[in-house]
Amino acid sequence: MVRRRIVIVGLGALLLTGAGSVVGLRHGSDHVAAAPAAATPVDRAADSIARAQQRLRDVPGDYDSWAALGGAYLERARVTADPTYYPKAEGALRRSLIIHRDGNATALIGLGALANARHDFATARDLARSALRIDSYSADAYGVLADAQTQLGNAAAATPAVQHMLDLRPGLAAYARASYDLELHGRLTDAESLMRRALDAAVDPADIAFCRYQLGELDWQTGRLEAASAEYAAGRAADPSYLPLLEGQAKVAAALGRTGEALAGYADLTARYPAPMYLLEYADLLRAAGQPARADDQLALADAALRLFAANGGTDDLGTAQLALAQNRPADAVRAARHEWSRRHFVDVADVLGWALHEAGSDAQALPDARRASALGARNAGYLFHLGMIELSLGKKADARRDLSAALALNPHFSPRYAPVAQAALDRLGAP
Amino acid sequence: MRRPTARRVGAVTVALGVAFAGAVAALGPIDAGASSHREAPLIAADPAVDNTDVYAFVSPDRPGYVTFIANFIPFEEPNGGPNFYPFATDATYNIKVDSDGDAKPDAVFRWTFHNIDKRGGNTFLYNNGPVTSLDDPNLLFRQTYTLESSFGGRPFHTRIANAPVAPSRVGKASMPNYQQLRDQAVTTLPGGWKTFAGQADDPFFLDLRVFDLLYGGDLSETGQDTLAGYNVNTIALQVPFQDVAMNGDPVRNPNIGVWSTAERPRVRISGQSTGGGGWVQVSRLGNPLVNEVVVPANLKDAFNSLPPDRDASIAPVVARVKDPEVPKLIQAIYGLPAPATPRNDLVEIFLTGITTKAGGPIKADLNSQLNNADVISSSFRPSEMLRLNLSIKPTATPNRLGVLGGDLQGFPNGRRLTDDVVDIELQALEGAAQTGKLVSALAKGDGVDANDNAFSSTFPYLALPNVGAVNKGGGTGAGAQTNAIGAAHVQPQTQAPSSSAAPAERAPSTAPAAVSRPSTHNVGLTIAGATGGAGVAALVLLGGAWFMRRRRPVPVTPPGPVPGPDMQDH
């Protein structure tokens, strides 16, 4: 136990270094904004924290401002990837509820958003419903509900929640969720058009960067590398500190064969923000580039990050399963994915569970899960690749040919490690 | 005003610089790896559709014309450089007028904005040299607008396209003569219409701390204009009375109701297409401070979503008007008994207009559509909007307390830029319209009696945008003036409101100087020509109301001249 704590503290220091450099980068961007006569929109999200803090120094009983402060901290946490904003958010939101326990929809919405951030989607759903009982016209509450239902895999409940949000308050937050909902249903053109609306409505630099990143992702998913690259670059022009854009640029560089640039990009990104998701991608790229030892280092870091998340009360068995797969521990991956599946039937979970079962040699069991990942109609090269490989193992050659071809047709660069695997399998399969 | 944070108690006080907690102290219960799922912005800044204030008044310098002003984007910090504030291009901005009292718009004026962006993607510069005209090539980012109108529910017609927007005032070096830019942005249209869109000084003056009492604060620390130094984005329109009066007849039907909205297109994702048609109202505003003092917190979202014709069906809103929170808090803090409920006087002020025809307690016919000669009473629906009687002539000496100060041209009869709506509403909430008792502890109100910048005497009347940081004494160069609008410019044929029935007279003060006590006396106010063609109908307003007069704090800034059209902006 003591030993584990030391590991956690060590990783904590690493994370702190990352967070510090995030702030450093922000200062860099401030420098740009301060150039004479330069005109960038005001970052009101950052401003709102200072405003609420000052307000609460003057009127500590203002529960609305406590709730607003909590919400503002959550937005900062999302944008900056600085985890220290979460306890601050929780403190402010609980303070608001203590001052004003009954009928405090804003605080419940904030706590719901916090629960979503912690992957406690069932709690988030319940908090959103509680908020809606108080204020049935709250678009924000529907936003929390939509996020929770989406991640719980309740697509039939998620879409109406998003529609409520659109009907109550069309704007960036609603458009972004509508775009994601459409994307999950495979309606990529509509998803892009909604994300463009979101971009039109975006004001804060970080919000513009978010929309640009998602537009880039929609391009990336369908193999449009140049368009994706342009969106990521436009996002960085708006907010150079928005980290997901570094991931986008790194994976485009990898797809274009600029491996050195891609590796440098991932090294930079994971130094700033050692998220398991990024570390796993980095490891895949290192492995594809013939650097297995460095790849293993990244996986060890991802493992530490996930342990820290769990030690702090978070639950991410999806991430745990993905890491186990990357470390060639298929039995652990199946166990973790099943845990996650018992909590939520989201398409990503179905996909990872299917792939874990395949890697564990249980292809017959894997097939239904892999099919479930695409049941809503999602057009995702990774899902199709997994499905095709499972079908191949089961001797369903025609199905495998169809789905592996579809994966590569959708995005021939979907993974530096697995796109070549898909191509090789297709080559072996030959023409029908 | 949908995101009530804007002008609501919560979000206020002077903005601090952002003090980033750069150094991280301790790890929280979540690590950096939490986002293996899509996290989209939830509480995104959306100031461009945040409706802050609406004004409607008879134009003091142009008889027969009414002026509407709607402001958006609160707390625009001038900062003299990097900041600029465009109107949203994915929304419409609307001013709506109900002249027959059915709570549905009979006239809609709709602004839609477009960007002309010559920055080319590799510069963020707003301008690359001094901007001396609206089409100056140095102005790299500009906006234009289309103004459309619809009457009686008929299709919209374009009144002007590609009209210029007055830009954000980014500094004296960049815009050496801003008055010139303002003047160029006033567009005159056929039919005598005048329209303006662009940045202006936020004309609202108040100390928002007055609302601290909702959160356990008190009224001892007020007197500072919370909005001094900030700018807003304004749309303004001046049209002839007959264009907005019922049946085009402002003599028979002088009473109108006004509100503004911001709307975005309706989007559907459930069907096969993402289109849908129609518009979604994202913010709405009629009477000032309605989100603060009338609508309960948990109904603000509903209120901002609904059209006025649904107001009467939202029982909790009506209930809150009849049983408001503020007087109870004042009772708790100051021991002043809250007026007896139900507060049907407030129903008149906020929901029906002041009229004897709806069974309310205020024995006067001031500004309800029910008083229009051609009204069909059975179609009338109580609704929250700013009501204005167009037949009341502008006065040369406006009283900031409006109707409560014996000046029938002011709030709650419409709203002029100089009306001190906080003090008026506080007194109204304490029952000034019903009981005749003024609250001495509230006599000071919020302690802010006038805007920090003088208004102009001509359309669009607003002071030029502030330059310089808010906390460093920016300003527009135009000093404060309590009764600024057109004091010297009121047309000769205008009559002063006939408040002469009982001249104000001062009772001995027994209160300490610091908290001056209003003196009181009976006053019978008459409303000239308030009802159709009948000449002067003498109506007793507020059945024995108390006229209040009190000491006025010395303005921080000495009164300055009214800026003329040729006044330089530096």
- Residue B213 pLDDT > 70: no
Of the candidates A53, A82, A194, the beta carbon closest to that of B24 is on A82
Q: Residue B5 has what pLDDT?
A: 37
* CB pair distance less than 8 Å for B43 and A140: yes
3-state secondary structure of B226: coil
Other Cβ atoms within 10 Å of B468 Cβ, number: 17
Task: Give the model's confidence band at B471: pLDDT under 50 very low, under 70 low, under 90 confident, else very high.
Answer: low
Q: Residue B216 has what pLDDT?
A: 66
Q: Which residues contact A274 (CB under 8 A, 6 or more apart)?
A: A14, A15, A18, A301, A302, A305, B32, B33
Task: Give the model's confidence band at B475: pLDDT under 50 very low, under 70 low, under 90 confident, else very high.
Answer: low
Using one digit for the tens of pLDDT, what is the confidence trace for B166-189?
Answer: 999 988 888 999 999 999 999 999
Q: Which residue of B has its CA nearest to A347?
A: B37
Q: Which residue of B has its CA nearest to A348?
A: B37
* CB pair distance less than 8 Å for B28 and A86: yes
Residue pairs between chains A and B whose CB atoms are closer than 8 Å: 322
Least Cα separation, residue B354 to chain A (angstroms): 30
Q: Which residue of B has its CA nearest to A319?
A: B36
- Separation between Cα atoms, residue B312 and residue B117, nearest integer Å: 45
Using one digit for the tens of pLDDT, what is the confidence trace for B323-356?
Answer: 988 888 888 877 888 899 999 999 999 999 999 9
Q: Which of A300-309, A393-402, B323-332 has the highest mean pLDDT?
A: A393-402
- Residue B530 pLDDT > 70: no
- Report the Cα B100 to chain-centroid distance in Å: 22
Other Cβ atoms within 10 Å of A224 Cβ, number: 15
- Is-contact B369 B100, C-beta < 8 A? yes
* B333: chain A residues, CB-CB within 8 Å: none
Q: Residue A191 has what pLDDT?
A: 97
* A181: chain B residues, CB-CB within 8 Å: 269
**More confident position, A2 or B315:** B315
Using one digit for the tens of pLDDT, what is the confidence trace for A33-55?
Answer: 323 333 444 566 667 888 889 88
Q: Residue B428: which H helix or E strand, with range? A: helix B421-429
Share of chain B above pLDDT 70, in %: 70
* CB pair distance less than 8 Å for A275 and B36: yes
Q: Which of A302-311, B267-276, B506-515 has the highest mean pLDDT?
A: A302-311
Instruction: Please state the rounded mean pLDDT for residues A296-306.
Output: 94
- Separation between Cα atoms, residue B215 and residue A99, nearest integer Å: 10
- Is-contact A316 A20, C-beta < 8 A? no
A200: nearest Cα among A166, A180, A171, A229: A171
Other Cβ atoms within 10 Å of A334 Cβ, number: 24
Structure tokens at B274: 């993402």
Instruction: Please state the rounded mean pLDDT for residues A201-205.
Output: 88
- Is-contact B68 B234, C-beta < 8 A? no
- Is-contact B267 B102, C-beta < 8 A? no
Q: Which residues contact B514 (CB under 8 A, 6 or more apart)?
A: none
A254: nearest Cα among A422, A416, A381: A416
Least Cα separation, residue B143 to chain A (angstroms): 15
- Separation between Cα atoms, residue B407 and residue B483, nearest integer Å: 12
3-state secondary structure of A150: helix
- Separation between Cα atoms, residue A208 and residue B162, nearest integer Å: 27
Torsion sign across C-alpha atoms A371, A372, A375, A379? negative
B67: nearest Cα among B373, B417, B404, B368: B417
- Is-contact A137 B310, C-beta < 8 A? no
Q: Residue B226 has what pLDDT?
A: 75
The strand pairing partners of B142, in sequence order, are B116
Q: What secondary structure letter does DSSP report for A392?
A: H
- Separation between Cα atoms, residue B367 and residue A307, nearest integer Å: 68
- Residue B24 pLDDT > 50: no
B364 dihedral zone (left: phi>0; alpha: psi -120 to 50; beta): beta
Instruction: Please state the rounded mean pLDDT for residues B303-314.
Output: 91
Phi, psi of B392 (to 5 degrees): -85, 120
Least Cα separation, residue A204 to chain B (angstroms): 7
- Separation between Cα atoms, residue B529 and residue B365, nearest integer Å: 11
Structure tokens at A251: 């994976």
Share of chain B above pLDDT 90, in %: 45
* CB pair distance less than 8 Å for B269 and A162: yes
3-state secondary structure of A217: helix
Q: Residue B328 has what pLDDT?
A: 87
* CB pair distance less than 8 Å for A316 and B33: yes
Residues in chain B: 570
**More confident position, B331 or A18:** B331
* A336: chain B residues, CB-CB within 8 Å: none
pTM flag (> 0.90)? no
**Model ipTM?**
0.84
Q: Residue B79 has what pLDDT?
A: 66
Q: Which residues contact A28 (CB under 8 A, 6 or more apart)?
A: A240, A241
A362: nearest Cα among A339, A333, A385: A333
* CB pair distance less than 8 Å for B35 and A84: no
Which of B42, B85, B211 is the mutation pick for testing A, counting most A CBs within 10 A? B42
* CB pair distance less than 8 Å for B36 and A302: no
Torsion sign across C-alpha atoms A14, A19, A21, A22? positive
Task: Give the model's confidence band at B512: pLDDT under 50 very low, under 70 low, under 90 confident, else very high.
Answer: very low
- Residue B36 pLDDT > 90: no
Instruction: Please state the rounded mean pLDDT for residues B138-162.
Output: 96
Q: Is residue B12 within 8 angstroms of chain A, CB to CB?
A: yes
Structure tokens at B15: 């903005």
* B25: chain A residues, CB-CB within 8 Å: 84
